[in-house]
Structures are given as structure tokens and as C-alpha cells.
Amino acid sequence: MQTLTQTESAPHQLPQLSHARNAGQPLDLDWVASVQANTSAIERRTATLPGRRSVKKDHQAAWLCKAVSLIDLTTLSGDDTWGRVERLCAKARQPVRPDILEALGMEGLTTGAVCVYHEMVETAVRALEGTAIPVAAVSTGFPAGLSSFRTRLMEITDSVAAGAREIDIVISRRHVLTGNWQALYDETRAMREACGAAHMKTILATGELGSLRNVARASLVCMMAGADFIKTSTGKETVNATLPVSLVMIRAIRDYETRTGFKVGYKPAGGISKAKDALTYLALMKDELGMPWLQPDLFRFGASSLLGDIERQLEHHVTGRYSAANRHPMG
């Protein structure tokens, strides 16, 4: 297995993309209105995926290492401290025990990013100096997105100034639920402009949008507005990432690329805590979008507990034994 490494760069320098950044386009309401979602067909397609796409032994270990490289290692708790964030960044630098990586030939493996609240951005940037691991900041009134629009834009610019190279925004769900696509487009476009060179991941909070059709239409509008990624959830909703929602969003990404030529990334977040679930999501991405989307610039997992389970599975692959979770601490 080849070592998965990221090219070293200066702390505030964005990594090179393998594709042209999504520039967005004018809102096309006819295109939005034409989007539908066949719920029963979507559910049938995703229900069969875990059984049909299984990998074993060395192949499974390689895919799990790939999953590690795609994780946005996240802490978004009210009791976050600077020390917790520093420990999380140390885990991002060394996500799997060195002896396991050495046995796998995977030295140099890191996570895709570290995701924190604005207050912790500067701490995370300092802790990750000398690496290419970006800091992502949740913004725009996360998780509800109901602070004033001026405040939401200021949150973005403040986090970018503090060194965040990625911004995870939340949309105003009411615009989707009332079909006010122009308002959703205008807000998202303004947020993209506030991000500047920082990449924008747009959180749809799909568990609160009411239907898969709304998910598909909201995905399309946000991509038209210039989103670099579309993301399922804040992790704070009752229902977070699911395979049916993921299929809808992934196919919206595929349709958008077909029509515009721009690739947009995808980030499932919330509720993905087991290694086997990560493998299923990777298989879905490969089936629907192909290998280019299995890179950190186009796919991320929003997770923290997922890493611990992957590390346990990798240790089992190397030693033949499962270990207790406390042998693989997050910090």
C-alpha cells in the first residue's frame, strides 16, 4: 500500500486543487424547478449498497487508510478548551499509532482537516504549523444559522483573518422550506464572496429540509452560488447523514458538473462512527462519481469518533486482535 501524504505548504496557503474551483453561475430557476427525487428508487438503490460493495484484508486496510485521509477531525462542543483543540491537532498529525502505520507502510498519513469554532481557529493554526492540514471553521450562526446576516458575514471574515482555510457555513433552512430559492442563492453567494480564497463548505442541514426533493434543489442552488462543497449536516440535528440523502446530493453534484464543467465536493457529517459505514460511503462515491472524488479536495467525512474505530480495525488487521477503545485516544 502506498503512503498517503499531503504536500507541505505554508500555514495560510491553500493546497492546490486537482480541478478548477467552482465559480458558480446565475440562478437558473427553470433548472431548479425541473429537479425531482424518486424516494422509493433512491431507498432501493442505497439499501443494497452495503452488501454489494464489501472489501477484505489488505484492500480493506487500504480503503480505511484512505478514509482517514478524508476526515475533518472535529470538536464542536460548548466545553471545548484550547488544550482539547491542541490535542485534537496532534491527533490529526498522527491519526493512527506509529507502529500500526509502519506495519502498513503508511507513514505520513494525516487527516484531511481539523474543524473547530471560530474561537479556536488561531489555536488550531498554531498547532498545525509545518503541515498542510487546513483548519476549517464553522460559521454563520452555526448550527441554526439564525443570527443577523451582517453578523454571519463578519464571522466568516474574522475566521479567514484568523487563518481558517475552509469555512463551513449553514444555510437558512426557511428559504428551502418556503421555496425562496432567490434568497438562498443571494445569501450563499454573499457568503462565498466573504470567504475569498478560503473554500466554502455549505451545510444544508438535510434532516430539517422536509423532503429529498428539497435536498436536491437546495444542493443545486448552493452550487450555483459557488459552494466548493455541499455538506449534509451540522451534526446537531436529529437526523444527520444518511445514504439516501447522500445519493441525492452526489447525483446533484454529477448533474452540476455535466452542465457547468465544475466539480463540487461532498461532505457527509454526523452519525458516521463505524469503519464499515465509512467504507460504504466510499463505495457510493466511487460508484457514482469515480476515483477523482476520493481525494481530500472533493470528499470529506465530518467525524471524530469514526477515527477511533478505524484505528481499531487497522490494529486488528496488523495483529489479528481487537483492542479496547482506550488504546486509541483522540487526544
Catalytic residues: 168, 231, 267
Question: How large is the C-alpha radius of gyration of the chain?
Answer: 19
- Cα separation, 313 vs 207, whole angstroms: 30
Taking each helix axis as running N to C, give the angle between helix 243-260 and helix 39-47, from 0 to 180 degrees, rounded to the nearest 10.
Answer: 110
**Ramachandran assignment for 269, one of left (phi > 0), alpha (psi -120 to 50 degrees), beta (any other):** beta
- Cα separation, 184 vs 176, whole angstroms: 7
Query: Partners of 170 in the beta sheet?
Result: 203
**How far from 193 is each of 154, 175, 196, CA to CA, in Å?**
12, 20, 5
Long-range contacts of 53-56 (CB under 8 A, 24+ apart): 53/279, 53/280, 53/283, 53/284, 53/287, 54/279, 55/279
**Please, are residues 104 and 65 in contact by the beta-carbon 8 Å criterion?**
yes
